[in-house]
């Protein structure tokens, strides 16, 4: 039986920053606490996704817009956006994983099999979005599982289930993409012309299964405009390595061929 390809559509214009998604994710997946720390940055002490933060609500602060939504002229605007593993079509973590622990599930998600991962750390430097990380107290790499266990049972992932405003929508990927286009049309018609979809389909990442409706510059959400999957670097890297290997081999053969005619000094024996 072929399974449907599922996705997350996270609409930041509907997010109220309640962090219920973060809590639901932690509860369901038994993710440990990530410490009590004060960042001093907006209402966000977590700041980024990580080995023990698989959903993360960003508090993006913008210019004051008097009149919009009842804002006072001396208060900045807030945009909230619940971030998550992008579940890339061309996933750097999956390609780089040397053990085969990271797999593509039947739902199209990218999943780390915890019984296989040996904590080599290579996926950490191969994720262009800084999502996956090694948990020091455990030794293995962790990130959003796309609630693989819940999906297998026909359930909605915990974050989407808990979201009180339907900012996080879960469902068939193609249907979600159509819903996102319709939502953008509605928002643009209502005058919110800076609303746009972030889904890097035209990059080497080739589109993501978790995509976002954001406003304005994606970089203020720490979303790169032109992400790159590291596998595109394989060809130049190995070409370079082959050239280097050729020069090293050729040089060594030449040097010893020439050196055969010249006098050389042998070392003293180790034991005399």
Partner 1 sequence: MTSYHDTPLLKPPVWTWEIPLYFFVGGAGGAAAVLAAAARAGGAEDSVVRDARWIAAAGATLSAPLLISDLGRPERFLNMLRVFKPQSPMSVGAWTLAAFGGLSAAAAVAGARPSRATLPVRLAADVAGLGSASAGLVMATYTGVLVGVSAIPVWKTHVRLLPVHFGASSLGAASSILELRGHRHFALNALALGAAVFETAAAVALETGDDRASRPLRAGRSGMMTRVASALSGPVPLALRLLGARRGAAASAILGSVLTRFAWVEAGKASANDVQAAL
Residues with Cβ within 8 Å of residue 259, at least 6 apart in sequence: none
The reply to whether 271 sits near partner 1 by the rule CB under 8 A is: no
Q: Which of residues 184-243 bind partner 1 (CB under 8 A)?
A: 217, 219-222, 224-225, 228, 230-231, 233-234, 236-241, 243
Stretch that binds partner 1, among 16-24, 121-129, 177-185, 195-203 (CB under 8 A): 121-129
Instruction: Give me the least distance between CB of 39 and partner 1, in Å please.
Output: 8
Rg over CA atoms, the chain: 25
Is the separation of the CB atoms in 2 and 23 below 8 Å? no
Q: 58 vs 150, which CB is nearer to partner 1? A: 58
- Please state, in angstroms and as integers, the Cα–Cα distance from residue 72 to each residue in 45, 60, 64, 158, 222, following that order: 25, 17, 8, 36, 27
Tokens of 200: 């890097």
Does residue 34 bind partner 1 (CB under 8 A)?
no
Per-residue mark of binding to partner 1, 99-118 (x: CB under 8 A)? xxx--------------xxx
Closest CB to partner 1 among 117 and 187? 117
| Binding range to partner 1, per CB under 8 A, among 10-18, 29-37, 176-184, 249-257 | 249-257
Query: Minimal distance in Å, beta carbon 175 to partner 1?
Result: 29
Q: How far is the CB of 14 from partner 1 (least distance, A)?
A: 19
Q: Which two tokens stand for residue 63?
A: 């210019």
Whether 85 and 147 have beta carbons less than 8 Å apart is answered as no
Residue 76 binding partner 1, by CB under 8 A: no
Report the residue from 153, 189, 190, 268 that binds partner 1 according to the rule CB under 8 A: 268
62 binds partner 1 (CB under 8 A): no
CB of 4 to partner 1, least distance (A): 27
Q: Please identify which residue in 8, 9, 111, 129 interacts with partner 1, judged by CB under 8 A.
A: 129
35 touches partner 1 (CB under 8 A): no
How far apart (Å, rounded) are the C-alpha atoms in residues 107 and 153?
12
Q: Which residues pair with 142 in a beta bridge?
A: 133
* Cβ contacts of 22 within 8 Å, gap of 6 or more: 46, 53, 55, 56, 57, 82, 159
End-to-end CA distance of the chain: 75
Work out which of 68, 76, 125, 185 binds partner 1, going by CB under 8 A. 125
Size, binding site for partner 1 by CB under 8 A: 79
Name every residue whose Cβ is closer than 8 Å to that of residue 65 and which is 6 or more positions away in sequence.
71, 77
Interface residue with partner 1 among 119, 156, 177, 179 (CB under 8 A) is: 119
Question: Which tokens go with 139?
Answer: 């030794």
> Cβ neighbours of residue 66 under 8 Å, at least 6 residues apart?
72, 73
Which of residues 57, 133, 176, 200 is near partner 1 by CB under 8 A?
Answer: 133
Among 202, 258, 271, 272, binds partner 1 (CB under 8 A): 258
Per CB under 8 A, 77 contacts partner 1: no
Instruction: Give whole-number Cα distances, 272 to 199, 248, 265, 269, in Å.
Output: 71, 35, 17, 6
């Amino acid at each position: 039986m072929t399974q449907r390809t599922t996705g997350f559509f996270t609409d930041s214009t509907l997010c109220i920053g309640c962090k219920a998604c973060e809590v639901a994710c932690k509860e369901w997946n038994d993710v440990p606490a990530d410490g009590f720390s004060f960042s001093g940055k907006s209402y966000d002490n977590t700041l980024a996704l990580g080995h023990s933060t698989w959903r993360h609500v960003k508090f993006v602060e913008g210019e004051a817009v008097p009149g919009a939504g009842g804002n006072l002229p001396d208060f900045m605007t807030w945009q909230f956006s619940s971030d998550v593993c992008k579940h890339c079509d061309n996933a750097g973590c999956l390609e780089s994983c040397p053990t085969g622990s990271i797999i593509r599930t039947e739902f199209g998600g990218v999943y780390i099999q915890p019984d296989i991962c040996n904590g080599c750390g290579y996926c950490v430097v191969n994720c262009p979005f800084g999502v996956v990380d090694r948990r020091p107290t455990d030794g293995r790499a962790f990130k959003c599982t796309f609630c693989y266990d819940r999906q297998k049972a026909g359930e909605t992932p915990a974050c989407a289930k808990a979201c009180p405003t339907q900012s996080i929508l879960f469902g068939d990927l193609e249907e979600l993409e159509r819903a996102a286009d319709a939502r953008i049309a509605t928002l643009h018609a209502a005058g919110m012309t800076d609303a746009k979809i972030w889904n890097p389909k035209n990059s080497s990442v080739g589109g993501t299964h978790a995509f976002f409706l954001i406003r304005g510059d994606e970089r203020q959400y720490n979303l790169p405009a032109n992400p790159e999957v590291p596998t595109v670097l394989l060809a130049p890297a190995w070409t370079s390595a082959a050239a280097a290997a050729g020069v090293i081999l050729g040089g060594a053969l030449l040097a010893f061929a020439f050196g055969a005619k010249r006098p050389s000094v042998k070392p003293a024996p180790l034991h005399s």
